[in-house]
Amino acid sequence: MQELLQKTQKMKVLYVEDDDNVRLQTLGVLQILFPNNTDIATNGLEGWKKYQATTYDLVLTDISMPKMNGIELSKKIKEQNSSQSIIIISAHNAQSNLLEAIELNIDGFLLKPIKMDKFIPVIEKQVNS
């Protein structure tokens, strides 16, 4: 874990989540891994605007959000930067979401509520790639 923390200290992350409770819970974990380097957006459109203004090492996004969903956001990001690391976090285990994420070459897919034993390996994979 110490090695992971050393690598994540300087990474810049965009976290896009519309649910206040989920955002606060996940933010606690993100601030440990990425202290002072996590930008937050509360919907896909806000996330897209932030993405256009800043360079990020990693984007984490929900799927079901107002104004622009996470799949649409991921598609726009990948069109602009095909190598951008994106992890989708969703409460929905719908096969169509998984297929769309695969087609967009998404780097990870986590189900809510986030469990640390699932979250850390996905983050490690992105940090070490």
Give, for all 129 residues of the chain, the pLDDT tens digit: 788 888 888 899 999 999 999 898 888 888 888 887 899 999 999 999 999 999 999 999 999 898 999 999 999 999 999 999 999 988 766 666 777 777 888 888 888 878 888 888 998 998 887
Full domain range(s) for residue 20: 2-122
Residue 129 lies in a domain: no
Rounded to the nearest 10°, the torsion over CA 66, 70, 76, 79 is -170
Domains of the chain: total? 1
CATH number, position 24:
3.40.50.2300
> Helix or strand or coil: residue 79?
helix
Residue 45 lies in a domain: yes
Residue 78 lies in a domain: yes
pTM for the full predicted model: 0.91
How far lies 84's CA from each of 22, 90, 91, in Å? 24, 19, 23
